[in-house]
Amino acid sequence: MGGGAPSGGGFDTALLTKDEERGFRGLFKNGRALGLALFASLGGVLYGYNQGVFGQVQVMYSFKERYTATLTNSDTKGLLTAILELGAFLAAIVAGPLSDRFSRKYSISGWCIIFMMGSAVQTGANHNIACIYAGRFFAGMGVGALSMLVPMFNAELAPPGIRGSLVALQQLAITFGIMISYWIGYGTNYIGGTG
């Protein structure tokens, strides 16, 4: 009668037609899924950027001048870098159950807000190393949850023929974010003034 899969076919045959491209080529045939996945994968760019940028910031002259404790104590320097990953680990554990309860879309939005709060705390840390710790921890929570939620969201919105390509898009976004952080760090290290 009305609706459902064509007779003789299963769910996959209802979604995939004979003309549908699979893999990377199929991404461009399904513009809506690609657009949603690209937008959601911005979380991967955030994660990659935050992983790559702080090592460069720690060796910049202005950072060493403001936060002298990082010059003499290698534990402080290591913890400043690693606290992002600690926040990411803890948030990735709770993000799944929270997204089951509140939906993927609202969970991704909520974790983006937590990331922005962490970034704001770091930006406002005027000679206060505790603000850098707190800001990096909350930013880590945001990007850690996003690194778990975004591939899941991409897999759920994708037709089967392009699902693997959309999930791989998250790793590409992380790598792109790391690359951006290195080039920005390289370029800004030689700017004079307060930078």
- Reading the block at residue 35, the tokens are 């657009």
Which residue did the predictor score with more confidence, 11 or 65?
A: 65
* Residue 183 CB contacts under 8 Å (≥ 6 apart), including other chains: none
Is 78's pLDDT higher than 60? yes
Range name among 7-16, 82-91, 116-125, 166-175 with the lowest pLDDT average: 7-16
Over residues 169-175, the mean pLDDT reads: 88
* Residue 121 CB contacts under 8 Å (≥ 6 apart), including other chains: 131, 134, 135, 138
Q: Which ranges of 67-188 would DSSP assign to H, the alpha helix?
A: 69-72, 74-102, 104-123, 129-157, 163-188
Is 130's pLDDT higher than 80? yes
Is 21's pLDDT higher than 90? no
Burial level of 66, CB count in 10 A (0-12/13-18/19+)? middle
Residue ranges of domains in the chain, CATH in brackets: 68-172 (1.20.1250.20)
| pTM listed for this prediction | 0.77
Predicted pLDDT at 32: 79
State what percent of residues in the chain have pLDDT above 90.
29
